[in-house]
């Protein structure tokens, strides 16, 4: 066991890890990143098809980001935005975000992460309705199997049952409706019909709770951590109609989908959604530094600005100048290289063509993709789409086989998912797909 592994085992608790297994086996040590690859302590080169945690959109070698950080460190390494103070990186980034996000999102509240964004939206929507004299309008409706972060509010807004089970979540005032997961929950129902039905559950829930009690609906345009659940085309228009009809706020969590992943700057554009609030993080700095941003619509901003009292909310690192400088460099780099257009017109269609062919594999019940996020469903029986018995842990087996073959794919139960860096080349896509076939073959061989 290396020194890093020893120190880690003795002292470091890890996010989303089984501490028993961690203590028994030690952690994998990553020492270097280059392009779309990471290297472990043993010198293994691993193709990172998850872009870290859906964030390293520009890969591990984006020099302009590093230079922007160095420059900002030399000028103003820290200052905050509390008590009516600002600095140029935050102000400039706020203006840039207002320019590139959908039309009515012209205001920004900076945070340090996606979870903090979701804590911020919960407090913002409740404050908004209170400012309008409707303090009882508190409830936020979310969805089962959504992921909105790990803080108390983030995990409550999320719909992950195992997270709720640890620590008495959700906190009061958050309720969940079923998700638009056709493969998992809609077999036998026409896909567009299913999308409509799942969206209409929002309307039912609003009526059940009383519209006078409902503040907002929150959702990821495509559920990421839940297993890259791509909603049917009928879903979002119906959700938008319902939010508009009842005047409840629509919060779109674009922490994963934002910054080009779906082939537009934001998935709200992909799905023609008009959100009142939008959460951004991860790709905003290509993961190089922690930063989140809540985009706030003019409708909300106007109410908050008319209310002559303090909004008692904020984080020490809200608008950290170095993180903001790196975010600006990230956006500039994406614009300079026409990265979003390249994703939309070139690399995403190329990846889609190769990825969807994985549906032919005997272990795969469905392959799906939108932009640069994709999933395959592992099944025991291709004809009936029956899953493996849970004890077989097919997804975990496949994930471990991937790592030993030099590929990072993530397993969500028996759903294998990828979200590679947006800068991946066609040759690298070929390599990813070839490795995926090989790993599926090996997994299949071990399961049968």
Q: Which is nearer to ligand PLP, 89 or 283 (CB)?
A: 283
Return the HEC string of the chain.
CCHHHHHHHHHCCCCCCCHHHHHHHCCCCEEEEECCEEEECCCCEEEECCHHHHCCCCCCCCHHHHHHHHHHHHHCCCCCCCCCCCCHHHHHHHHHHHHHCCCCEEEEEEECCHHHHHHHHHHHHHHHHHHCCCCCCCEEEEECCCCCCCCHHHHHHCCCHHHHHCCCCCCCCEEEECCCCHHHHCCCCCHHHHHHHHHHHHHHHHHHHCHHHEEEEEECCCECCCCCECCCCCHHHHHHHHHHHHCCEEEEECCCCCCCCCCCCCHHHHCCCCCCEEEECHHHHCCCCCCEEEEEEHHHHHHHHHCCCCCCCCCCCCCCHHHHHHHHHHHHHHHHCCHHHHHHHHHHHHHHHHHHHHHHCCCEEEEEEECCEEEEEECCECCCCECCCHHHCHHHHHHHHHHHCCEECEEECCEEEECCCCCCCHHHHHHHHHHHHHHHHHHHHHHC
> Least distance to ligand PLP from the beta carbon of 260, Å?
15
Q: Which is nearer to ligand PLP, 153 or 379 (CB)?
A: 153
Task: Determine the residue with CB nearest ligand PLP.
Answer: 114
Please compute Rg for the chain using Cα positions.
22
Q: Which is nearer to ligand PLP, 291 or 429 (CB)?
A: 291
Q: Which is nearer to ligand PLP, 117 or 334 (CB)?
A: 117
Q: Which is nearer to ligand PLP, 94 or 256 (CB)?
A: 256
> Least distance to ligand PLP from the beta carbon of 286, Å?
13
> Least distance to ligand PLP from the beta carbon of 301, Å?
22
> Least distance to ligand PLP from the beta carbon of 431, Å?
26
Q: Which is nearer to ligand PLP, 139 or 373 (CB)?
A: 373
> Least distance to ligand PLP from the beta carbon of 279, Å?
6
> Least distance to ligand PLP from the beta carbon of 115, Å?
3
> Least distance to ligand PLP from the beta carbon of 10, Å?
25
Q: Which is nearer to ligand PLP, 113 or 197 (CB)?
A: 113
CA distance to 46, 56, 327, 393, 418, per residue, from 49 (Å): 9, 10, 22, 21, 5
- The encoded tokens of residue 159 equal 């719909």
Handedness of CA 176, 181, 186, 190 (dihedral sign): positive
> Least distance to ligand PLP from the beta carbon of 11, Å?
22
Give the number of other CB atoms < 10 A from CB of residue 310: 8
Q: Which is nearer to ligand PLP, 122 or 358 (CB)?
A: 122
Q: Which is nearer to ligand PLP, 232 or 283 (CB)?
A: 283
Q: Which is nearer to ligand PLP, 250 or 255 (CB)?
A: 255
Q: Which residues bind ligand PLP (CB under 6 A)?
A: 53, 113-115, 118, 147-149, 220, 224-225, 253, 255-256, 281
> Least distance to ligand PLP from the beta carbon of 134, Å?
27
> Least distance to ligand PLP from the beta carbon of 118, Å?
6
């Amino acid at each position: 066991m290396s020194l890093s592994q020893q120190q880690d085992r003795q002292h470091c608790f890890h996010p989303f890890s089984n501490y028993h297994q961690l203590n028994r086996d030690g952690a994998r040590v990553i020492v270097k990143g280059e392009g779309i690859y990471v290297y472990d302590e043993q010198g293994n080169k691993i193709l990172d098809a998850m872009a870290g945690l859906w964030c390293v959109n520009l890969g591990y070698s984006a020099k302009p980001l590093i230079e922007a950080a160095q420059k900002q460190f030399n000028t103003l390494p820290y200052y905050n935005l509390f008590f009516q103070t600002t600095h140029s990186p935050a102000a400039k980034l706020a203006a840039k975000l207002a320019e590139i996000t959908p039309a009515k999102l012209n205001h920004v509240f900076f945070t340090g992460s996606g979870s903090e964004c979701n804590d911020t939206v919960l407090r913002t929507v409740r404050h908004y309705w209170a400012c309008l004299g409707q303090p009882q309008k508190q409830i936020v409706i979310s969805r089962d199997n959504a992921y909105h972060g790990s803080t108390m509010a983030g995990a409550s807004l999320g719909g992950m049952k195992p997270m709720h089970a640890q620590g008495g979540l959700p906190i009061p005032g958050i309720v969940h409706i079923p998700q638009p997961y056709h493969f998992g929950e809609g077999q036998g129902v026409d896909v567009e019909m299913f999308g409509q039905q799942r969206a209409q559950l929002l309307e039912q829930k609003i009526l059940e709770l009383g519209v006078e009690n409902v503040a907002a609906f929150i959702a990821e345009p495509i559920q990421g951590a839940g297993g890259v659940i791509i909603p049917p085309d009928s879903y979002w228009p119906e959700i938008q109609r319902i939010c508009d009809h009842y005047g409840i706020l629509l919060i779109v969590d674009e922490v994963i989908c934002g910054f080009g992943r779906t082939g537009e700057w934001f998935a709200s554009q992909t799905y023609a959604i008009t959100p009142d609030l939008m959460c951004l993080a991860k790709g905003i700095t290509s993961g190089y530094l922690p930063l989140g941003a809540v985009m706030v619509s003019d409708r909300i901003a106007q109410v908050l600005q008319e209310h002559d009292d303090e909004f008692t909310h904020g984080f020490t690192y809200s608008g950290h100048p170095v993180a903001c400088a790196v975010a600006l460099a990230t956006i500039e780099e994406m614009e300079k290289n026409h990265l979003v257009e390249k994703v939309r017109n070139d690399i995403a269609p190329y990846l889609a063509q190769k990825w969807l062919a994985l549906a032919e594999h005997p272990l795969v019940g469905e392959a799906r993709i939108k932009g640069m996020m994709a999933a395959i469903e592992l099944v025991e029986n291709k004809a009936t789409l029956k899953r493996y018995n849970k004890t077989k842990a097919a997804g975990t087996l496949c994930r471990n086989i991937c790592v030993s073959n030099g590929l990072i794919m993530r397993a969500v139960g028996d759903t294998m998912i990828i979200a590679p860096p947006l800068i991946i080349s066609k040759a690298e896509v070929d390599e990813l797909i070839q490795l995926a076939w090989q790993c599926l073959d090996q997994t299949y061989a071990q399961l049968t």
